[in-house]
Each structure stands twice: as C-alpha cells, then as structure tokens.
Amino acid sequence: MSRRTLLGVWAHPDDEAYTSAGLMAEFRRRGDRVVVVTATLGEHGTSDPTTWPPDELAALRHTELRTSLAILGVDELHVLGYEDGGCELFDGTDAIAGLIADVEPDLIVTFGPDGMTGHPDHRAVSRWTTDAWVATRPTANLWYPTVTPEFHRMWGPVNDQIGLWADQPDPPCAATTDLASNNRLPRDLLDLKVAALTAHASQTRPLIDLLGLATYREWWRTESFRSADLPASPADHTLTDRAAAA
C-alpha cells in the first residue's frame, strides 16, 4: 500500500490541533506522513504582553506546538516566521509553493477564504495556500475546515460566550451532504486531540477552565472539511460565455 502525505498549513500554533488533530492522528496511525506548516508563532497571542513579551511567548508557543504534534506522532514542522497579526501585509505564496513541491502532498488542509473565525492571518494563509496549490499541485485534494448547522445549534451559546465569531460577520456553515469529510472522533482519537490541545496550555487552559473539561472535549469533537474548487481557466470562461450567448 502506498504511503499518503497530509500537509497542513496554518497561521498560528493550535490552529492545527483545533481543526485537524484527529485527521493527523489517523494518518499517522496508518503509517502515513504528516507535515505541518505554521506561518507565525503567535507571539502576540496574550492579554498580558508585560509578562509575556513577544520573544518569550514565541519560544513558549513553539515548544507547545512541538509537544502537541509529538502527541499525535507528527515530527515534521516548518515555521515560516511571519509576524503574528501581520500576515495580510505579506505574500507567503512562494514559500508555501516551495514546500508543496518538496513534500508532494496527496491532501492539503488549510483555512478556507472565510478564515473560519475571520482572523486576517487565517484569511491570508488561506489565500497563499490556495494559490500555491493551484500553481504547484492541483492534483492534490485541498480541504477547508468548516462547521455544520448542527454545530451552530449545539454550540451556539458556547461560541457566543467566548466570542468565537467576533471577527467573523458570516460564520462558516456547510450542510453535511456538501462535505468531503465529517468525522465525529471516536474516544481514542478524541483523547489524543484533547491531549494535543491541552499541550497548547498558554492558549487553551483559560478556555478549559471556563468551559470545563467535559464540555471542552466535545466542543471540537467533530472535524468537518469541504473541498476547495479549482478556479475556472480562461478557456472555461470562454466556453461558458459562448454557451450563454448561444
């Protein structure tokens, strides 16, 4: 059986765990390869920058990320080194295209154009990765994480409580029939996912304390992805225009 490769491209440490820890663990359990890319080290991800200046928080979050990935059996990590909160000012397409060419993934996962929560860094990484996929390896599958109407119904009060959609005027929502994958993690994979998230303690401990571990465990138990569509080529547009004119 041929070995498959999963490439995850994200903006900050812990993005990969919330969206795809179960998927990564499944790949590694089968003996498949998993490579993770993070655009930043989330050095501004604190409400107390006096206690946690950027250099110190970046070092901590880098360590947390490697620990989290090790729990899932992942040891291939690339840090692009962009400033947290500033990705939209840059273009990381070429850097990601180079990694795609080197890794040759069968499946790429990254934020959709909505950035999931709407964070500008998420949107920028989505744009870079999608453009790199189109230019470099369009034969690979590209999946965007999303949530379903069932997620909104079940977790709406929690999402409102923590302000999950504060930067997202139009939260993502996809019917289960439109998904490429919709996996409610079994207990063993959920245990790994929660352990991976808990390793990102600087970010996740306050949420766990607020919600309680039992609620936190179930909150992101289901990992949902939709397929990205290749943009139509100029020739496709010409054919469409001709058909419309006829």
Mean pLDDT, residues 177-185: 98
Task: Report the pLDDT value the prediction gives residue 244, as an integer from 0 to 100.
Answer: 44
Asked if pLDDT for residue 14 goes beyond 70, the answer is yes
pLDDT in tens, 87-119: 999 999 999 999 999 999 999 999 999 999 999
Instruction: Sort residue 81 into left (φ over 0), alpha (ψ -120 to 50) or beta.
Output: left
Residue 73's contacts (CB-CB under 8 Å, 6 or more residues apart) are: 24, 25, 28, 29, 34
Asked if pLDDT for residue 216 goes beyond 90, the answer is yes
Q: Structure pTM?
A: 0.93
pLDDT category of residue 218 using cuts at 50, 70 and 90: very high
Asked if pLDDT for residue 238 goes beyond 60, the answer is no
Mean pLDDT, residues 163-190: 97
| DSSP state letters, 165-180 | TTT-SS-----GGG-S
pLDDT category of residue 1 using cuts at 50, 70 and 90: low
232 and 239 in contact (C-beta within 8 Å)? no
Share of the chain above pLDDT 90, in %: 92
pLDDT in tens, 67-93: 999 999 999 999 999 999 999 999 999
Task: Report the pLDDT value the prediction gives residue 5, as an integer from 0 to 100.
Answer: 98
Residue 139, SS3? coil
> Looking at the DSSP assignment, which residues form a beta bridge with residue 145?
225
Asked if pLDDT for residue 215 goes beyond 80, the answer is yes
**Helices 15-29 and 187-198, packing angle to 10 deg:** 140
What DSSP state is assigned to residue 200? Answer: -
Task: Output the six-digit token pair for 153.
Answer: 């119904």
Task: Report the pLDDT value the prediction gives residue 142, as an integer from 0 to 100.
Answer: 98
Q: Which helix (H) or strand (E) holds 37?
A: strand 33-38
Of 14-18, 127-131, 151-155, 232-236, the one with minimum mean pLDDT is 232-236
- How many beta carbons lie within 10 A of that of residue 146, not counting itself? 23
Asked if pLDDT for residue 233 goes beyond 90, the answer is no
Mean pLDDT, residues 3-11: 98
Beta-sheet pairing, 181-184 with 222-227:
antiparallel
CA distances to 17, 46, 60, 139, 160 from 208, rounded to whole Å, are 15, 16, 19, 39, 16
40 and 128 in contact (C-beta within 8 Å)? no
Q: What is the mean pLDDT of the chain?
A: 94
